[in-house]
Structure 1
């Protein structure tokens, strides 16, 4: 078993302070005999999965800088999987390393954004086979028993045909300081989960959303309550959509920087009950999301979109700075309120106190003229459709 009994300086360089300060008796082998929570250290050439399999609740699997060609599945509660920063890299084994398929990723993006149920083979297999589904790091519980209190931190996940980090049936999952780059579908994704925290991650150049949070994409059902999930201080760049929040309620999206995507943020609902919404999008910087993405079977071409609310209710969009998002797509513009792609109206959404500049065709757009109670107040902007929203 390739785990080390103690943290040593040789081969690691400077150990992280949290490990360097840990009492020696708390840093033990992969087969602990001591009741304290051990730290399992993995070096290049060793198996992260073996260390995870040996870890008990409360343990940390610390992965040294280097490249690890494998997928990792976590189903034990309370485990922390932590690298030593961006130079701890998880990527597919050579035989599995395949370039992202833009058409497939685009189709998944279009269907997900449109609110339609999607049966993505990479998702349906993930619960059984993380690597076989093309995913990098998976945190997997069950419908009846969510896996609790797992943390994934301080590493890079890149080159997977599915998602860099994929979570299903989790409670209080934390993903922080993870760099998810050039994965075929999602950078970091979560379904059927509650109370997740996604903080200070970078998701760049992924085939669909950099960050994707949803109730489920495999069945038609109403929006679920996340119990107060938080998406904060992330950088989402060069993806098809920076962040998709799909059929969820009760979460906060705050202080993120979204740039260079085809679209910044999608808040997506549909005809199922309860409705999506009752969430807050605040204090984000959303600039120059002008990458061009082609039309799919479910979704028009995307370019120059800041925030879209479609089929959502009771959503607060406030204190965001939205600049330089320009395109000719039907969804282009700074903040766009749009009737859902299955005909569900957006209702009682509040767009207030935002600063919008140089978005085209307009800073504020409301195409959902049937939707009731949507309000636009206190925004700084120059142009709107219809006129009078600024």
Structure 2
């Protein structure tokens, strides 16, 4: 074969390849599923594929929603204008439902059939540890008045919850278990029966701490809950730039005797003030009042650069930053408490109530401590 023939064959092959490429279909673009009040959010979610957006128009929706597909986004038109409430609460939303709040038979049916609704939750993002739901986003809506949680997630990876208001729910505002790499940013949790934000290894078994692989809780507002934020039996997580006020306890970092131990938490640059609401004791906890940041059974964690002010009470765990005695006798160990402003807290600005070793207090601005000498 001559050189000219070889060049000709190469050109022909390139032309064929180019033609095939031009003829191949383009990748399908993500679909935006528009939903209006009176239409079923669940029906749209059941049709969504990875990459799709279920976009909710302003109004009130009497419905719970199950999300079980990776890569989808559930997005409202803003927390002030898009509201989800339980189906049974239709008559209580008169001031906000107006002409856009009618509930269709389709949404009534989806609400009745929803596993999320039957559990008392508003939005549920549900996978398993073996097959997690990945890269789901929930943003820009309000979840109000559900008997359990506004948002409940289990078996997720890289869940993002952003600009969600979760208020007046029976137990948790926004809650997650058995999940990795979650991001909870710019949310408001207020008036919930237990924690406004609740992240745990699991709620149903005694197990060691889960490495969250750098989950983030950032720039949230936590007000008038029993506990603003609970982080229970987790490792490798950051809590930064949140505001917590008006709760019984602002932030509760909880461990126990199981292994791996909870720890490697970074609690930095938070504004924790006037968490002086009274909450009665439970089977697991004494009464709560006037607590800023509580560590109990946690190790190798950093609490730095926070403002912890005016948290006042006489409860067993009252105080600004408290290393509390764990009900399972798990010790706080090797935690660094530094560069915080901790003032006007009672019973003390800084308090250590257990015998854990290696905890350090450095360069904090404070006036009182128990035992003395920590300021």
Could you tell me the TM-score, scaled by structure 2's length?
Answer: 0.86
| Count of residues in Structure 1 that have an aligned counterpart in Structure 2 | 328
Q: What is the aligned partner in structure 2 of residue 91 from structure 1?
A: 85
In structure 2, what is the equivalent of residue 375 of structure 1? 360
1:155 aligns with 2:148: no
Gaps of 5+ in 1: 1-32, 99-127
Over residues 38-79 of structure 1, what are the superposed CA-to-partner deviations in whole Å (9 max), with x where a residue is unaligned?
Answer: 100001110111110001100000000100001000000000
C-alpha distance in 2, partners of 1:279/1:159?
31
2:38 alignment partner, one of 41, 45, 63: 45
Secondary structure of the residue that 1:279 maps to in structure 2? strand
- Tell me how far 1:217 sits from its aligned partner: 1.3
Kindly indicate which of the two structures has a greater share of residues assigned to helix. 2
Out of 315, 330, 339, the residue aligned to residue 329 of structure 1 is 315
Residue matched to 2:10: none
Equivalence map 1:198-217=2 (5 Å): 198-217=184-203
SS of equivalent to 1:131:
helix
Partner of 1:125: none
Mapping 1:174-189, distance limit 5 Å: 174-189=160-175
Q: Following TM superposition, where does structure 1 have runs of at least 4 consecutive aligned residues deviating by more than 4 angstroms?
A: 95-98
TM-score normalised to the size of structure 1? 0.83
Aligned to 2:150: 164
Preserved contact between residue 97 and residue 159 of structure 1 (Cα < 8 Å): no
- Does structure 1 residue 255 correspond to structure 2 residue 241? yes
Q: Could you say which residue in structure 1 is the equivalent of 2:231?
A: 245
User: Which has more radius of gyration?
Assistant: 2
- Which secondary structure does the structure 1 equivalent of 2:146 belong to? coil
The 8 Å contact of residues 168 and 193 in structure 2, kept in 1 or not, is answered as: yes
Higher relative contact order (CA 8 A, sep 6+): 1
Rounded to whole Å, the distance in 2 between the matches of 1:178 and 1:95 is: 20
Q: Deviations over 1:339-377 (max 9, x none)?
A: 211111110011000001110011000011x21101111
Distance in structure 1 (CA, Å) of the matches to 2:164 and 2:372: 42
Does 1:69 pair with 2:62? yes
Indicate whether 1:190 and 2:176 are aligned. yes
Which residue number in structure 2 is paired with residue 314 of structure 1? 300
Equivalent in the alignment of 2:14: none
Contact 2:62/2:89 (<8 A) preserved: no
Kept after mapping to 1: 8 A contact 2:263/2:298? yes
Contact 1:152 1:178 (8 Å CA) reproduced: yes
Using the alignment, how far apart are the partners of 2:41 and 2:299 within structure 1? Answer: 43
Question: What RMSD in Å do the two structures reach over aligned CA positions?
Answer: 1.4
